[in-house]
């Protein structure tokens, strides 16, 4: 059985499984399969309406699970999503900022944005998005996402089918190349995650060490790298802390203050936003930079 016959025979179940896995958070892109299915639908080998319905239903099933988890467990579930999807842990802050600016309409395009697609729904649920608005924009977004890739396959049907014919000619080598590309995709995501973790280990400071630092160094300052949504969800603050918000670090701490001890903090998974900010500070020439570990536990211990 060649590749085209395989997709024609099992196309709809494959679409459902691929979309469920991707929208469930796994780093397995379903878009290429939707494009191929769309190309085959244009030739009459498959039904476009069935494929579209299957993809949308799979999206809605996965999205409702994440919405329920976001409602039940709040922001705690976001770290789990980042670990499963291999999205950068900084995607939580990025998504929070987009939700704050655009609200529920973000769900119309979230599935097209790498990093945001995995986190947008549970983040919106954790921040109080009404269920009716979630359903409205999620349904529209699912149709837009699935329809765009199926439509692209139908528009470029001749080119896609020509590529499939060539892949069948090459045989198993084409599957090996595709598998290698997926491997590279996963490796790049893992490498980015590990880079931040290595930096975090080098410059981290524990809450207990932070308490001593605040007592012994009157110039030490904490830079709160949490998103505005995260700060609104937990209004506690550290002594001597400044909020980064939408400002650059140079606006918050001018370069002439590079000799001060600067501790970055966030409640995102693996202190990723804080570690990324620490990396930017070190590159900018700030000499004494630390990342506060502990997240919410550190906030509980040290907050005013």
* 62/161 same-domain check: yes
3-class DSSP state of 44: coil
* 99/223 same-domain check: no
Instruction: Answer whether residue 188 is part of any domain.
Output: no
245: left (phi > 0), else alpha (psi -120 to 50), else beta? left
Between CA 160 and CA 170 the distance in angstroms is 15
22, two tokens: 């991707």
pLDDT tens per residue across span 68-122:
999 998 877 877 776 666 565 566 777 888 888 888 999 999 999 877 787 889 9
Position 7 pLDDT exceeds 80: no
Between CA 12 and CA 18 the distance in angstroms is 10
Position 192 pLDDT exceeds 90: no
Between CA 31 and CA 19 the distance in angstroms is 8
Between CA 222 and CA 229 the distance in angstroms is 19
Instruction: Answer whether residue 154 is part of any domain.
Output: yes
* 31/157 same-domain check: yes
pLDDT tens per residue across span 234-286:
788 777 788 876 777 777 777 777 788 889 888 877 777 788 888 888 888 88
Alpha carbon 260 to its chain centroid, in Å, reads 33
Instruction: Answer whether residue 191 is part of any domain.
Output: no
Residues with Cβ within 8 Å of residue 111, at least 6 apart in sequence: 23, 59, 117, 141, 142, 144, 145
Q: Name the domain boundary from 155, 170, 185.
A: 170
Q: 278 lies in which domain range?
A: 199-302
Residues with Cβ within 8 Å of residue 19, at least 6 apart in sequence: 30, 34, 54, 55, 58, 59, 62, 146
* 125/262 same-domain check: no
Between CA 108 and CA 199 the distance in angstroms is 35
Query: How many domains in the chain?
Result: 2
* 124/224 same-domain check: no
* 12/140 same-domain check: yes
CATH label of the domain that carries residue 234:
3.40.250.10
Using alpha carbons only, how large is the chain's radius of gyration in Å? 23
* 34/79 same-domain check: yes
pTM value is 0.70
151, two tokens: 């439509």
pLDDT tens per residue across span 201-243:
667 888 888 888 888 888 888 888 888 888 887 788 777 788 8
Instruction: Answer whether residue 187 is part of any domain.
Output: no
Instruction: Give pLDDT, residue 2.
Output: 56
CB count within 10 Å of CB 118 equals 29
* 25/134 same-domain check: yes
Instruction: Answer whether residue 178 is part of any domain.
Output: no
* 57/163 same-domain check: yes
* 41/121 same-domain check: yes
């Amino acid at each position: 059985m060649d590749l085209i016959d395989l997709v024609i025979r099992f196309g709809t179940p494959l679409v459902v499984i691929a979309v469920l896995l991707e929208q469930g958070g796994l780093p397995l892109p379903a878009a290429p399969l939707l494009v191929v299915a769309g190309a085959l639908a244009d030739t009459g080998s498959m039904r476009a309406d069935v494929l579209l319905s299957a993809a949308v239903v799979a999206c809605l099933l996965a999205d409702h699970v994440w919405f329920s988890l976001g409602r039940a467990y709040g922001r705690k579930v976001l770290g789990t999503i980042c670990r499963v999807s291999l999205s950068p842990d900084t995607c939580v802050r990025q998504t929070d900022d987009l939700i704050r600016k655009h609200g529920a309409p973000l769900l119309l395009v979230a599935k097209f944005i790498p990093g945001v697609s995995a986190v947008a729904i549970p983040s919106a649920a954790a921040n109080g998005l009404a269920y009716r608005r979630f359903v409205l924009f999620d349904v529209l977004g699912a149709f837009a996402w699935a329809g765009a890739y199926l439509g692209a396959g139908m528009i470029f049907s001749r080119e896609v089918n020509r590529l499939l014919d060539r892949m069948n000619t090459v045989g198993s080598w084409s599957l090996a190349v595709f598998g290698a590309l997926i491997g590279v995709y996963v490796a790049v995501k893992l490498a980015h995650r590990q880079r931040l973790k290595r930096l975090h280990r080098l410059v981290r400071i524990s809450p207990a060490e932070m308490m001593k630092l605040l007592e012994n160094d009157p110039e030490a300052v904490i830079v709160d790298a949490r998103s505005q949504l995260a700060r609104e969800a937990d209004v506690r603050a550290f002594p001597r802390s400044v909020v980064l918000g939408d400002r650059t670090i140079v606006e918050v701490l001018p370069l002439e203050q590079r000799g001060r001890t600067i501790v970055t903090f966030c409640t995102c998974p693996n202190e990723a936003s804080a570690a990324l900010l620490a990396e930017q500070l070190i590159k900018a020439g700030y000499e004494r930079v630390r990342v506060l570990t502990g997240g919410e536990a550190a906030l509980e211990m040290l907050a005013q």
